[in-house]
Structure 1
């Protein structure tokens, strides 16, 4: 048994954020289901910004037990 970390990224566009967050959730859920993840230790989201400080993406990090 060991601990692993998986990082996911998603571009965020104005007026489409809810769809993109749903897609990101589905991507993470598929990973958990298809890779036999037994226990999730932590989930963390961090925005990415452009040179104007506007949010242009989201990075989700999942720490899990394999």
Structure 2
């Protein structure tokens, strides 16, 4: 089996972070369910920041096998 990688991104706005994280989780879970993912190898989250160092988004990367 080959290892594949998929990247997801989500903009994060002040005071809505929990809702946006839930949406990101749903997006990833839907991808896993709809694409026949048999095994997740790794999941990694990384924040993105603006020029002031404030978090403005989140990038989630998954490595998986079909």
TM over 0.5: yes
Q: 1:9 aligned to 2:6?
A: no
SS in 1 for 2:37: coil
Distance in 2 separating the partners of 1:19 and 1:9? 14
Cα RMSD (Å): 0.3
For normalisation by structure 2, the TM-score amounts to 0.99
Distance in 2 separating the partners of 1:65 and 1:34? 13
For structure 2, which runs of at least 5 residues remain unmatched after alignment?
none
Distance in 2 separating the partners of 1:48 and 1:64? 23
Count of aligned pairs between the two proteins: 66
For structure 1, which runs of at least 5 residues remain unmatched after alignment?
none
For normalisation by structure 1, the TM-score amounts to 0.99
Moved over 4 A (4+): none
